[in-house]
Amino acid sequence: MSVDFLNNLNATMNERGKIMTKRYNKFLSAAADFNLENSPYYWITQVHAQYIQNVDHALKKYGLDNSRRRILLALKSKNKASVSDLSEMVISKMSTTTKIVYRLKDEGLVDTYCCEDDGRITRVLLTEKGQQMIQKINDLSHIVLEQSFDGLTPLQIEKMLENLKQIFKNLAH
């Protein structure tokens, strides 16, 4: 956790502690009548875990896992990204991202090279085999996406995205 986050949390609790407790009481685990099913973070983690489980299961037929999928998809959106950029994009430690990149390189899905401007920076690019794997990933992801959003309208999905982005923004600052 960042120092800024902790300072903001302390300031918020000092300024509005009792108001927040009453306003959000049913969502707080310290509440006497707390029910886990009312916790937004419970559902966020449940959805995420189930999504990862479904994606991992589908990816096994290609010998991939979710960690490598995330790096490949990040490269699709920003090919020739640095390892540092990829680490930020997938919210992973630099050492973990580096290991995944070199595993993908060993599998022929990516290639790496030193940045011309700064030799300390390693850039990563998709190979043709990596591009083909992304197409397979997208086909599988489409199936999981349709399954997960069954019964929701596009407007409901857009609103959910707005809410999740706001929560992320709140937590990241």
CATH label of the domain that carries residue 69: 1.10.10.10
pLDDT digits (tens, 9 = 90+) for 2-38: 556 555 555 555 454 554 556 777 777 776 777 888 8
Instruction: Please report whether residue 10 resides in a domain.
Output: no
Instruction: Please report whether residue 33 resides in a domain.
Output: no
Q: Are residues 129 and 108 in contact, defined by beta-carbon separation less than 8 angstroms?
A: yes
Rg value, the chain, Cα: 20
- The model's pTM is 0.69
Place of tokens 């043709």: 128
Q: What mean pLDDT is predicted for residues 53-72?
A: 91
Domain span holding position 125: 39-172
Q: How many CB atoms lie within 10 A of CB 92?
A: 18
Closest residue by Cα to residue 72 from 114, 113, 124: 124
**Of all residues in the chain, what percent are helix, strand and coil, respectively (each to 5)?**
70, 5, 25
